[in-house]
Amino acid sequence: MSDARASVHAMFTLDEVTETELDQRLDVLVVEALIKAGVQYVDCPVCGAAQGVGDPCAMCAYKARMAAELAARGMAAPAEAAPEFFQPGHTYAREHHGRTIEFLVRSIDTAPGSSYRVARGWRLNEDGDWEPTDSDDLTGWTDTTTGEPA
* pLDDT at residue 137, rounded to an integer: 87
Domain spans of the chain? 3-72, 91-143
Cβ 99 vs Cβ 126: under 8 Å: yes
Q: What are the C-alpha distances in Å from 70 to residues 46, 63, 73?
A: 19, 11, 5
Would you state the pLDDT for residue 72? 83
Query: Taking the chain (150 residues) in consecutive chunks of 10 residues, what is each chunk's mean pLDDT?
Result: 63 64 69 65 54 59 76 73 79 86 90 89 88 90 73
Tell me if residue 92 falls in helix, strand or coil: strand
Please tell me the predicted confidence (pLDDT) of residue 100.
86
CA distances from 120 to 7, 46, 54, 63, 129 (A): 32, 19, 23, 26, 17
Check: CB of residue 93 under 8 Å from CB of residue 103.
yes
